[in-house]
Structure formats: C-alpha cells, structure tokens
Structure 1
Amino acid sequence: MKLLPTTPLEEVEQRGVSLFKKTFDSDPQIVAHAPGRVNLIGEHTDYNEGFVLPLALEMQTVIVGKKNGKDTCRVASEAFEGLVEFKPSKDLKPGDPLWSNYIKGVVVNFLRNGYDVPAFDAVVVSEVPVGGGVSSSASLEVAFATFIEAIGHHHLEPSKKALFGQAAEHEFANMPCGIMDQLISECAMRDCALLIDCRSLAFEPVEMKDPNTCILVCNSNVKHQLSGSEYPLRKQQCKDALTVLQSLDPKITSLRDASLEQLNEVKDRMSEVAYRRARHVISENDRTLEAAKYLRKNEYEKAGKLMTESHFSLKNDYEVSCKELDFLVDLAMGVPGVYGSRMTGGGFGGCTVTLLKISSLSSLLDKFEQEYEKHTGITATAFVTRPGSGASYKKLE
C-alpha cells in the first residue's frame, strides 16, 4: 500500500490563490488555514464533558479571499462546481449546497455574538479527507472563522472560535458534536497532542517527538453519515444513564463525574444498553488520562495497550465500530512493532489510528494491502502524520 503524500501547505495556499484569481479576476488579500485532526484516544467523551487526546494533522483546509465591498458573500470550492452567494445575516438558513452550510453557520454565529462580518469573496481548498473521521468539517469551520477574524479585524479567544464552529455544526449541519474537533483545529501545537478537558476547555500539551515512533491513519473508505439517528441516540442513552446516576449522587453532573463503582451500584436501575454506553464513557476517560501520562514518559507499549482497549470498548459497549474498522485493527495488532490501534472519529466507518515503530511501517502497509481488499472488496488508503499546528492566517502582499 502506498502512502498518501502530504502536500506542503505552501502548495495548497498557491492553489487557493490561483483559484481565487480565476474565479474573481482579482488578487486575494488573506490566506487562513486550519487542520483536520486524528484522535489518539478519548472517543465519544467530549459531549459528556470528558477528556480527549487528539492531535492536528499536517493536512489543512485553506481559505483564500478578501472583503469585496458589496453586500453579498461569494464562495467557491476547489472540490465542487458553482459559486455560492448569500448576504451576511443573523437570519441565514441552511440550504444547498450542503458544504456551504458550515460557512453560513460560522457567519451567523459571528453576527449573533456582536461581531461584524463584511461581505467577502473567498475560495476553499482542502487536503483534509472528507467523510474519513478526521474532521474535515471542523477544519472548514475553524479556517473560515479565522478568515472572518482577519477580514473583520477581530481578536477572539481560541475557545470562542471553537464554540462558533461547534454551534455551526449543531444548527447548520444537524450534528450534535462535542467541542474536541474545533478546539484541536484551533489550538493545536506542533509535535504535541493536546489533553483537552471538554468541560472547562482547558488543555495541556503532550509532547510526541520520538523520531522512532510514528502515527499511521488508515481510511477504511467506508463512508458514514453521522447526522442520522445513531449519533443523537448515543447521546440520549448517555443522558439516560446520567439521570440514574444523579439519583445516587446529585453532584454527578456529567458521566465524567462518575466512577465505574458508582455505575455498577445503579446498574439494575437502568437499561442494559444505557449501562454499556456509560461504561464506555467512564472507562474511556480513565484510559485517556492514563494514556497521556504514559506518552509523556515515552512508554508507548502502555499507551498503545490503552488505545486497543479503547477500540474494543467502542466496538462492544458503544457499538459504533464496523467490521471493516475491526479488521484493520486486528491486522495492525498482528504486526510486531505496533503499539496500539483503534478506530478514531464518530464511527460507522472512517479511519483507524495506529501508534507504531517507524521500522514496522512497511510491514504494516504490506499487511493492509494484502489482506484488507481481499476480505472487504474495498481499497484502503493511509497516511503518516506528525502532530501539526493549529489555525492561523497571514496577509498577502
């Protein structure tokens, strides 16, 4: 299996500049960008006010544009035909094309919170894979929030920009996501994962600089659509478990406050499904905090073991994996030098993330190539990433 190349950011920016000039017959003034992410561990904990440990990809979404001095925003995308036009207004509604809703949602949230949004011309160019569980939507939201911050001469707290992106996702894409994706896209630090407390939005860098270790992201190329019933259903099941736990102790305001001992104490008072959902979330918070501790000490075997335990909890207790993701994890764990592997993202397809020795990379890729398509009929794709940096913008000369 060949690795997908990582296009240098400068090349992606230049594609954006060229597309802008072709589309609008003028020169842009601002380039903004924000990365996708992969989550090492801490899945489906963010909307339960828990802990997550993501890192930014080196792949970025780039916005190139400028104020246009008119009353209408115009946006083009390298990936889609046509030009989207809308007036910046608090009353904007979702519509077609669907990709433009993430942008409209960010615009609306700036306006509702008292920030001016001048009409603009802009183009979108992205290297972040769509539908692979690596947060292409969050990278688009945060990149556009950064672009608006630049053209509007605003200075927002990073957490506020992330919350604007999350709100856009909730209202304009009908996706009740947590805050992790937007926060890591905004706040990421090069060569570090971030241990994020999704209640306080506080975060700590977890350095990952070992040159002998790498992170492989493998896309199962099974597509998922999370805004259907499954994601909201999991969220409701967690709430059901929380309600029972609160009858035991009213100080438990989210699942992150509960222990497995407390959960087992009230197990008979909730449905078996709600129990398993809560068991995943509570144990996943513990695993995430432990994994961060081990990574800081370069104890990759221990951190990797927790990643693999996370996958089986997601498979069995949270039931968001699928046979293709399970197969990729099984293949990875059969290769010497692999520390741990798990599904990453919301589930029902998308990617796995694997922590391994660089010396084992070619063996793992060979294993994926030989076995995955033969068993599934699908060709997987993969890329290696280092922890990248978060959103930023620059003015063009």
Structure 2
Amino acid sequence: MSNEVQPVGTARLLQLARDKYVATYGCEPVVAASAPGRVNLIGEHIDYCEGFVLPVTIPFETLIVGSYNETDKCNILSVLADEDAQTSFPSSSAESLKPGPPTWSNYVKGSIANFPDPVKGFDAVIVSDVPIGSGLSSSAALEVAVFTFLEALTGKSVDAIEKAQLCQKAEHDFPGVPCGIMDQYIVTMGKKNHALLIDCQSLEATQIPLELGEYVVLVTNSNVKHELTGSEYPQRRAQCQQAAEKLGLSSLRGAKREDLEELKRLNCDKLVIMRAKHVIEEIYRTTEVAKSLRRNDLERVGKLFFQSHESLSKLMEVSCSELDELVDIIRGAPGVLGARMTGGGFGGCVVTLVKRDEVDNLKSIVLKEYSGNPTFFICQTNDGARTHIL
C-alpha cells in the first residue's frame, strides 16, 4: 500500500551518513550513535504533571556520525528533511553556546551545552527517518542521539537517568519547549518488545512486556504538522500548574477526583478545572492500561484508549478536527479495540489497537473516508539510544 511508511533501517542510515560524511569532509567518521522515535500508548500531557506515562519506541531513528576536527568549531550537515542543511557554531570549549537559526540546530546545541564536559570542535552528519512534526518525538531522538554521540566521542559515560534529564534541559534551554521527561526517557531507555511505564515523579521505570498476540499497534499519521514551540503547549502546562497551586500541591500527581469540587469552590477558571480533570483521570487510565497489558486484557486497553482521546479532545483541547475525524472513522472498523491521538497534539498521529488480519481493511477504510492524506506504520518496538561500530 503506497500510504505505508517503512523505516529506512539502521544499516542504510549508517551507510548514508558515512557516504555524506566522506563527501563533505574528505575522511571517514570515527564515531556513530543513534536514538529512536517513540509513540506514547497512553498518558498524554501527564509527564510535566509528575504522573505516569506508557510510551514505546518505534522502528524509526536519528543517527549521527562524526569525528573531532582539531578546531573550535562544530560543523554539522543535517539530512533531516528533503534537502541537506548545514550549520557551524563554536564548540562549548570556545565560548557559551546560544540559541539561534536554523531551528533544528538548537536541539544539537542544547545537547552540547548540557553535556557534562566541554566539547571540542567536531564535524558530523545527522540523518533521520523519524517523521518531523508528527508527535513521534523527532526532537528527543535528535537530542539523545547527539548526546550519545558525544559520550562516544569524548569517552565520558553518563548515567541513563541523568542523560535523559540533561537532554530534557537541553530542550527547555535552547528550542524553548517546556517538555516533560517522557520523550527523553523512553528514547534513552526503551527496550524491544516492551512498553516503559514511567513514574515522572520518582523517575522509576518498569518494563511492561508488550505481548499483543493477534493484535498490533497501528500508527496512523494525520500528516497535520504541529509546532510545540508555540503558545498552546506552554499554556496547557501553566494551567495544570495553576490547578496544583490552588490545591496547595507541587503538581497534579497528588490530586484526586474530589479535588475538582474544591477547585470549583475556589472559583477556579473553568479551563483550569478541565485540564485538571483530564490529568487526574489520565493518570488513572495509564496505570490501568499497564495492569491490563500484564493480564492480557486488551479489550480493557482499547476502551481506555477511546476514553483518553475523548478527554484529550474535550477537556485538554489538544486534539484537532483531523485527529478527531480519524478516531471516529477507526472506531467503527472491524477488529478495532481502541484508538487515541498520541503526542503533544494539534496534529500528528493516532495509535490504534487492531487485529493484525484487519490492518489492511482498516487502512482501506481510512483512505476512503479520511479527508486528509494519511500514512501508516505498524509499531515494531526498538531498543533505545546506542552506539554503532564503524
């Protein structure tokens, strides 16, 4: 099916990066590292509220190769989009790095600036097949791939949790996105054939075996692009924090359903109460999905998926007409247990729990009824960030 997206594969990405490096810099690279994208099964707009999230890695990744260049400059060739793009900026050992154009370079600069040791000048090529702007965490894949590359380049190993936190800080400081810890955490520590239940308060993580039997997770990309550096994402985060402060809490992690009545009594803004209701109920749904996966109750998982989407659309208001349309179409298709938007919202993808032998039929239905131009892939999980032998 022409609308099916296939990963390029690590071997081909590595060869592409090496060829580009040799053509650009005239020598072979010494170090290579990669990090995958991710989809979140459930637990949206929860990580910055210190709740639980349940992401999985996907078979798309960002890969970087490079070597020291004996200068105080970092020279980067990016093959992230249709056209190659190059940038050059001072290494962290030369002077403080600052955000600036091009936009994608800020994710690279952020990882360099937050690396524990000063970084000398290097040449690098970055390639990726992670769809950009689709809620599949292309930003965290880039940050963590660069950080892992720096570990290999400098010989300094960083604890996995600290690494995720430093990459999160990189996104806060340079692109200016106040993201939670989920994306960097799963991209760093994901495991093949598992989902990762992350407690965003304690940062404890539990690997949940993903044994779906005759079912698969189908990802449908609405191909509506979103930018989280706009006002919508920070606004939702601020509203959640306002609700927590009204309740005398550091975050909504400790809030309960009855606290919604307290927010009403305090004459809290209606939108703030709506956001709080979503968070409180989504934290519950996420832990329930993890329990249901352990006992192989996939019908329960599917129902919770639908409930999550309704909440994200009506209470958190981070869906869009295209995502709602997709979920409505998918809801009535044969073999479907559940579907929901995934990612920060305002575009991006829908995850669907569907029988494997109904996947082609579901794609046909979506292609016929959806007003946009969707693309699909089956979520085959991957390991997290890693280095590669050249």
TM-score bracket, normalised by the shorter chain, equals over 0.9
Q: Does 1:253 align with 2:250?
A: yes
Is contact 1:118-1:151 (8 Å) kept?
no
2:62 is the counterpart of 1:61: yes
- Residue 307 of structure 2 aligns with which residue? 309
- Summarize the alignment of residues 51-200 of structure 1 with structure 2, pairs less than 5 Å apart: 51-78=52-79, 79=81, 80-89=83-92, 91-110=96-115, 113=116, 115-200=117-202
Please tell me the root mean square deviation across aligned C-alpha atoms, in Å. 1.2
Q: Secondary structure at the match of 1:276?
A: helix
- The counterpart of 2:329, out of the listed 325, 328, 331, is 331
CA contact (8 A) 1:220 1:351 kept: yes
Q: 1:263 aligns with which of 257, 260, 271?
A: 260
Cα distance in 2 for residues equivalent to 1:82 and 1:46: 32
Per the TM alignment, residue 211 of structure 1 is displaced from its structure 2 partner at its CA by 4.1
Residue by residue over 1:320-344, the C-alpha shift from the partner in whole angstroms, topping out at 9 and shown as x without a partner, is 0011000111111111211110000
User: Which letter does structure 1 place at the counterpart of 2:103?
Assistant: L
Q: Which residue of 1 aligns with 2:348?
A: 350
The size of the alignment, in residue pairs, is: 384
Contact 1:75 1:123 in 2 (8 A): yes
The unaligned stretches of length 5 or more in structure 1 are 247-251
Separation in 2, partners of 1:237, 1:262? 15
| TM superposition shift of 1:13 | 1.0
Q: Is the CA contact 2:211–2:296 (under 8 Å) kept in the aligned structure 1?
A: no
Alpha-carbon distance in structure 1 between the residues aligned to 2:136 and 2:366: 20
Output the amino acid matched with 2:209: E
| AA of the residue aligned to 1:390 | G
Aligned partner of 1:241 in structure 2 is 243
Following superposition, the deviation at residue 152 of structure 1 comes to 0.7
Separation of aligned partners in 1, 2:259 and 2:106:
42
- Deviation string 1:27-51 (CA, Å, 9 cap, x unpaired) is 0111100000000000000001111
TM superposition shift of 1:202: 1.0
Deviations 1:89-121 (A, max 9, x none): 2621111111111000111111xx4x1312211
Q: Percent identity?
A: 47
Aligned to 1:35: 36
Q: Contact 1:116–1:152 (CA<8 Å) still a contact in 2?
A: no
Q: Distance in 2 between matches of 1:275 and 1:98?
A: 34
- Native 8 Å contact 1:245 1:263 kept in 2: no
Residue equivalent to 1:299: 297
- DSSP 3-state at the match of 2:203: coil
Counterpart for residue 231 of structure 1:
233
For 2:10, the aligned partner's letter is L
For residues 358 and 85 of structure 2, the distance between their equivalents in structure 1, rounded to whole angstroms, comes to 45
Q: Deviations over 1:60-110 (max 9, x none)?
A: 100011122222111101234342111112621111111111000111111
Q: TM-score, normalised by structure 1?
A: 0.94
- Give the equivalent residue in structure 2 for 1:369: 367
Q: Which amino acid aligns with 2:200?
A: C
Calculate the TM-score normalised by the size of structure 2: 0.96
CA–CA distance in structure 1, aligned partners of residues 78 and 265 of structure 2: 52
Give SS of 2:141's match: helix
Question: What is the alpha-carbon distance in structure 1 between the residues aligned to residue 134 and residue 17 of structure 2?
Answer: 23
| Distance in 1 of aligned mates of 2:242 and 2:9 | 46
One-letter amino acid matched to 1:105: G
In the TM superposition, what is the alpha-carbon distance from 1:182 to its structure 2 partner?
Answer: 0.6
The range that moved more, 321-330 or 227-236, is 227-236
What displacement does 1:236 show? 1.2
Distance 1:307 1:184 in 2: 20
Following TM superposition, where does structure 1 have runs of at least 4 consecutive aligned residues deviating by more than 4 angstroms? none
Separation in structure 2 between the aligned mates of residue 298 and residue 20 of structure 1, nearest angstrom: 47
2:323 is aligned with what amino acid? L
SS at 2:247 equivalent = helix
| Separation in 2, partners of 1:34, 1:231 | 24
Q: Distance in 1 between matches of 2:70 and 2:339?
A: 50
In the aligned structure 1, how far is the partner of 2:301 from the partner of 2:85? 46
Match for residue 272 of structure 2? Answer: 274
* Contact 2:245/2:251, CA 8 A, preserved across alignment: no
Secondary structure of residue in 2 paired with 1:325: helix
2:294 maps to amino acid:
R
Q: Secondary structure at the match of 1:86?
A: strand
**What is the CA distance between 1:388 and its match in structure 2?**
1.3
Partner of 1:260, secondary structure, is: coil
The code of the aligned residue for 1:386 comes to: Q
Describe the SS at the equivalent of 2:196. strand
Q: Would the aligned equivalents of 2:243 and 2:263 in 1 still touch at CA under 8 Å?
A: no
The answer to whether the 8 A contact 2:38-2:55 is kept is yes
Corresponding residue number in structure 2 for 1:249: none
Structure 2, unmatched stretches of 5+, are: none
